[in-house]
Amino acid sequence: METADESAPTAPPGTARRTHGFTESVIRGMTRLARKHGAVNLAQGFPDFPAPDLIKREGQRAIADGINQYAITWGSDRLREAIAEHQDEHYGLDVDPDREITVACGATEAMASTFLALVNPGDEVVILEPFYENYGPDAELCGAEPVFVPLAEDRTIDLERLERAFGDQTRAVVLNTPNNPTGRVFDRREMEGVAELCRRHDAYVFTDEIYEHIWYEGEHRSMASLPGMRDRTVTVSGASKTFSITGWRIGWIVAPPEATDAIRKVHDFLTVGAPAPLQEGVAAGLEELGADYYERLEADYRRRREILHEALTAAGFRCSRPEGAYYVLADFSGVSDLPDDEFARWLTREVGVAPVPGSSFFSDPERGRDLVRFAFCKTEETLEKAAGRLASL
Ligand code: GLN
């Protein structure tokens, strides 16, 4: 049988135990399958439209001007200044670029460095599910125990259940808002509930805010801006989604000074630093793109959301409009009886539209058997093409 990527964890001899508990990325496996079959790739969340000219020009200028050697390990002065300015402007947070910001190779490295720097073997890390696939492996790579807490049926945070998951061993909770894959933008009550538990149990929040500028309903709040949370929040974000440059690998971490010191050490020995000329491009984006840019980004995504949501509903999927981020998690039980992974491969091969199997977002794969995730970070033309193909269902 054809597989996107062989998904059962394996323990080949001669490999380290820390790699045995998780599989390769299912999301990136689906991208390879989409390529093989010439399917419209609505699996991996990367835009197929251009980045802002200003950012591309500034990256090119930096290369031409000879910015070709390592930047400062924790990020160029210019980019860290621009990130600090951004945190102040959007969240009213006064962040010290010299002591509280680290630039990393994408939010993925940012989150991994955070885990490795702040979590001990044996600690527990609470992860809400469905979850973005990185957090479990991040926990396992540092020998920690992921503790999964399902969202309620209506995809709100079940604060009582969350409370039961916290204990003496809890080191951190991972919060991703706007959320991948559910599209939730967690509201004030949910955020404050999480914050209260972290204060009570002296735990960190590792907050993944990579979709901070992509939301349609409610309001995105930065966890660090909640009362009493600045000193126990590690904020991970980056340029990939905001500026449509997922391949540039520029992410960042905003954390209190002592946490930052540890994170910088891990980051230094993992990657030394993020690409120097590309940091210049991103700095220019943060400095010069203002409210117009962010409003346009949101309006464009709102239209794309409508196209995909309409196409999926018309084809018989059950799904709601996401409040934020750029994914629709859809129930396909009205369309097919196949399990999610087979359905995702069938849809890619036979219909020419690639989604991500729902089971990859759950600790117990059975909970995702009727679900697939579609990304709508694509041109309207690409989405219309996918809609045309889905109509054949
Ligand atoms: N965050 C994106 C997704 O969920 C891309 C993942 C990745 O490949 N890094 O699809």
> Which pair of structure tokens corresponds to residue 26?
């299912």
Q: Is 348 in the pocket of ligand 1 (CB under 6 A)?
A: no
Q: Are 246 and 46 in contact (CB under 8 A)?
A: yes
Task: Return the residue matching tokens 């050490």.
Answer: 265
Q: Are 325 and 155 in contact (CB under 8 A)?
A: no
CATH topology of domain 17-51+292-390: Aspartate Aminotransferase, domain 1 (3.90.1150)
Task: Please give the torsion angle defined by the CA atoms of residues 275, 57, 212 and 140, in that order, rounded to the nearest 10 degrees.
Answer: -20
Q: Which of 323, 320, 393, 313 is nearest to 353 (CA)?
A: 393
Q: What distance in Å separates the CA atoms of residue 126 and residue 145, rounded to the nearest whole number? A: 9
Q: Is 108 in the pocket of ligand 1 (CB under 6 A)?
A: yes
3-class DSSP state of 375 = strand
Q: Which residues are CB-contacts of 385 (< 8 A; sequence separation ≥ 6)?
A: 40
Q: 313: part of which helix (H) or strand (E)? A: helix 291-314
Output the CA–CA distances (angstroms, integers) from residue 267 to 106, 188, 189, 229, 238, in the order listed: 11, 32, 34, 24, 15
**Ligand 1: centre distance to CA 379 (Å):** 17
Q: What distance in Å separates the CA atoms of residue 233 and residue 52, rounded to the nearest whole number? A: 31
Q: Which atom of ligand 1 is nearest to the CA of 375?
A: 10
Q: What's the pLDDT score for residue 248?
A: 98
Q: What distance in Å separates the CA atoms of residue 366 and residue 340, rounded to the nearest whole number? A: 9
SS3 of the chain: helix, strand, coil, percent, to 5: 45, 15, 40
Tell me the backbone φ, ψ of residue 238, rounded to 5 degrees: 175, -175
Q: What distance in Å separates the CA atoms of residue 185 and residue 346, rounded to the nearest whole number? A: 31
Q: Which atom of ligand 1 is nearest to the CA of 356?
A: 10
Going by alpha carbons, the residue nearest to atom 9 of ligand 1 is 108
Q: What's the pLDDT score for residue 10?
A: 72
Taking the CA atoms of 274, 278, 282 and 288 in sequence, report the sign of the dihedral they define: positive
Q: How big is the CA angle at 178 (ends 177 and 179), to the nearest 5 degrees?
A: 80
Where in the chain do CATH 3.40.640.10 domains reside?
Answer: 69-288
Where in the chain do CATH 3.90.1150.10 domains reside?
Answer: 17-51+292-390
Q: What distance in Å separates the CA atoms of residue 327 and residue 44, rounded to the nearest whole number? A: 10
User: Which of the listed residues 30, 35, 44, 138 should we mutate to test ligand 1's pocket, taking the one with most ligand atoms within 8 A of CB?
Assistant: 44
Task: Return the residue matching tokens 């000219």.
Answer: 53
**Ligand 1: centre distance to CA 45 (Å):** 5
Q: Is 44 in the pocket of ligand 1 (CB under 6 A)?
A: yes
Output the CA–CA distances (angstroms, integers) from residue 73 to 108, 119, 261, 294, in the order listed: 17, 22, 12, 29
User: Which of the listed residues 30, 31, 35, 46 should we mutate to test ligand 1's pocket, taking the one with most ligand atoms within 8 A of CB?
Assistant: 46
Q: Is 28 in the pocket of ligand 1 (CB under 6 A)?
A: yes
Q: Are 298 and 83 in contact (CB under 8 A)?
A: no
Q: Which atom of ligand 1 is nearest to the CA of 241?
A: 1
Q: Which of 116, 30, 102 is nearest to 344 (CA)?
A: 30
Assess whether the previous peptide bond of 150 is cis (omega < 30° from 0): no
Going by alpha carbons, the residue nearest to atom 3 of ligand 1 is 45
**Ligand 1: centre distance to CA 167 (Å):** 31
pTM: 0.96
**Ligand 1: centre distance to CA 202 (Å):** 31
Q: What distance in Å separates the CA atoms of residue 330 and residue 26, rounded to the nearest whole number? A: 17
Q: 161: part of which helix (H) or strand (E)? A: helix 159-165
Q: Is 180 in the pocket of ligand 1 (CB under 6 A)?
A: yes
**Ligand 1: centre distance to CA 27 (Å):** 7
**At the top level of CATH, which class does the domain 69-288 belong to?**
alpha beta
Q: What distance in Å separates the CA atoms of residue 217 and residue 234, rounded to the nearest whole number? A: 25
**Ligand 1: centre distance to CA 268 (Å):** 24
Q: What's the pLDDT score for residue 215?
A: 98
Q: Is 45 in the pocket of ligand 1 (CB under 6 A)?
A: yes
pLDDT in tens, the chain (393 residues): 344 444 556 788 899 999 999 988 999 999 999 999 999 999 999 999 999 999 999 999 999 999 999 999 999 999 999 999 999 999 999 999 999 999 999 999 999 999 999 999 999 999 999 999 999 999 999 999 999 999 999 999 999 999 999 999 999 999 999 999 999 999 999 999 999 999 999 999 999 999 999 999 999 999 999 999 999 999 999 999 999 999 999 999 999 999 999 999 999 999 999 999 999 999 999 999 999 999 999 999 999 999 999 999 999 999 999 999 999 999 999 999 999 999 999 999 999 999 999 999 999 999 999 999 999 999 999 999 999 999 999
**Ligand 1: centre distance to CA 66 (Å):** 31
Q: Left, alpha or beta for 325 (phi > 0: left; psi -120 to 50: alpha)?
A: left
**Ligand 1: centre distance to CA 177 (Å):** 15
**Ligand 1: centre distance to CA 342 (Å):** 20
> How many Cα atoms occupy the beta-carbon half-sphere of 286 within 13 Å?
27
Q: What distance in Å separates the CA atoms of residue 168 and residue 165, rounded to the nearest whole number? A: 10
Q: Which atom of ligand 1 is nearest to the CA of 25?
A: 8
